[in-house]
Amino acid sequence: MEQQPVTMSDVARAAGVSVTTVSYVLSGKRPVAPATTEAVQAAVARLGFRLNTVAQSLRTGRSSTAALIIPDIANPFYAELARGLQDALRRERLHVVICNTNADRAEELSYLDDVVRRRLDGVVITPQWLVTDDLDPLRAAGIPVVVSADTELSDLDVVRADSREAIDQAVAHLAERGHRRLGMVAGPTGTPNGDPRLALYRAAARRHGLALPADLVVRGKHTREAGAAALRRMMSRAQPPTAVVCVNDRSAIGVLEAAEDTGLRIPSDLALIGHDDIEVASLTRPRLSTIRYPAYEVGSTCGRLLLERLDGRVDPVEVALRTRFVPREST
């Protein structure tokens, strides 16, 4: 048998006070006589009362829940990011709902809509296809948004990677080892991480005298399968690359596997560099060289910004987290 939940007025009755007093005992937002406090607490304990957060939310307009909108929680990068975010938001007892979009624009929009309907307190999003205007409904509703992406976004809190130096080092590293033809497994066109990273690689390649020809830039999803397919495509070119850089570690792992299958040895036949340095990257053999972008820290930084914003900060903030080139056996 399912019991009636105990409400605040039950507690009030049991303690011989008004609901107001019960509310204030619980919130501490106004002084209450010690004896009263005690009586209320006793009643709360005796009846097993738990405040109904839904009613509280309706009244206050705050749900103490934030949304994290990402392509896929099963991608270790986002899982680590989620962990960082949750740890940062825990102090304020904020819950986090995870929204997996599969990098699909319709899903991204649908979750944003959900956020408004549910009056969530804030959103952290790693957008794949969204444009700034898509966030208008959130602005209108006064819901803070923190974006994690490498693109320029006006008037928003942004956490992004500053990979200029790291990419330059990586390319220099390749140049030193005699590489002259670079291939890149980039993200889908128009995606907020792929394009900026590609641009950085282009610039670095130019600086260090490497070619990065258009037919060696392969677009695709951030998956192992896409990485493997990309490599096969590159190697079928008239002039295949001697070194490949990947938009993230998952695709780099795909490249690694496809290379193995083809009998290509890494790094002797092909140098390989990933991005992100998820935990797995250190487990592959040969070890994956990578541009390290610490996911946990990205998440906790997003959380910090969100909390500040909820606390009343109004000016948008942009945080650039410096990435680091981690050479390993594979270059």
Partner DNA sequence: ATGAAAGCGCTAACAC
Partner DNA sequence: GTGTTAGCGCTTTCAT
Chain contacts with a copy of itself (rule: CB under 8 A): 2-3, 5, 48, 50-55, 57-58, 63, 65, 72-74, 76, 79-80, 82-83, 86-87, 95-100, 113-114, 116-119, 137, 140-142, 253, 279-280, 283-285, 296
CB of 27 to a copy of itself, least distance (A): 14
Work out whether 29 is an interface residue with DNA (CB under 7 A).
yes
Name, in order, each residue with C-beta under 8 angstroms of 325's C-beta and a sequence gap of 6 or more: 166, 167, 169, 170, 173, 289, 290, 291, 292
| Binding at 42: pick from a copy of itself, DNA, none (beta carbon under 5-8 Å per type) | none
CA gap 64, 93 in Å, rounded: 7
The answer to whether residues 81 and 299 touch, using CB atoms and an 8 Å cutoff, is yes
Write down the least CB distance from residue 61 to a copy of itself, Å: 8
Cβ closer to a copy of itself: 129 or 296?
A: 296
Q: Are 79 and 73 in contact (CB under 8 A)?
A: yes
Q: Which of 59, 91, 93, 285 binds DNA (CB under 7 A)?
A: 59
Question: Is the torsion defined by CA of 21, 27, 29, 34 positive or negative?
Answer: positive
Residue at 173: amino acid letter: H
**Residue of 1, 2, 13, 58 interacting with DNA (CB under 7 A):** 58
* 271: nearest Cα among 291, 283, 286, 292: 286
The CA distance from 180 to 198, in Å, is 17
CA distance 215 to 183: 8
- According to the binding rule CB under 7 A, does residue 5 interact with DNA? yes
> Taking contact as CB under 7 A, which single stretch among the options 7-15, 243-251, 252-260, 283-291 is the one that binds DNA?
7-15
Cα–Cα–Cα angle for 285, 290, 223, nearest 5°? Answer: 75
* Least distance (Å) between residue 191 CB and DNA: 35
Our finding on whether 282 is near DNA (CB under 7 A) is: no
> Measured from the CB atom, is 31 or 263 closer to DNA?
31
Interface with DNA, residue 7, by CB under 7 A: yes
Is 113 near DNA (CB under 7 A)? no
**DSSP label of 97:** E
CB 250 within 8 A of CB 222: yes
- Closest to DNA by CB, 53 vs 189, is 53
Q: Is 36 in the site for DNA (CB under 7 A)?
A: yes
Say which entry of DNA, a copy of itself, none residue 65 contacts (CB below 5 to 8 A, set by partner kind): a copy of itself
| Residue 189 engages DNA in binding (rule: CB under 7 A) | no
